[in-house]
Amino acid sequence: MKLRTLVVTSGIILTVGCGIKSYVPTAPTVSDNDIEMAREWLSDVDNLKISDDGYINYVEALPGSSSYKWNTTNIKRISQEWSCGNMYPLLEKGFVIRLLFKGKGGKEEYFDKARCDAEETN
């Protein structure tokens, strides 16, 4: 009986855990002038590109055949601090930030003004 309860409970936890989805941001609403301004301002940042539709894309990868693994807790913390701190003025203009961490344990994070404001109040 205990084994059956454990199996059922584990199944429920796995099902609920698999249903968790990444944050889906609103579409960017930034002007063409602001996109050009941001491209100039951020031109010296490696691995960062700004799309014509207002996404600020930052990609970081682990070395090719590396045995390293991303620490997802640190990814989330650093992504939130950078996006909702340093980059907040650009979010206010309507940009959306996409951070992609490639490799073992990597993940993709999106930040827009609404997410930063919601996480600020929590």
Per-residue model confidence as pLDDT tens digits over 2-35: 444 434 444 444 334 444 457 889 999 999 999 9
Strands 55-61 and 96-102: parallel
pLDDT of residue 63: 85
Domain map (residue ranges) of the chain: 29-121
User: Tokens standing for 97?
Assistant: 């930030």
CATH number for 29-121 (one of 2.60.40, 3.30.300, 1.20.58, 2.40.320): it is: 3.30.300
Q: With beta carbons less than 8 A apart as the criterion, state whether 109 and 23 touch.
A: yes
pTM of the model: 0.78
pLDDT of residue 21: 58
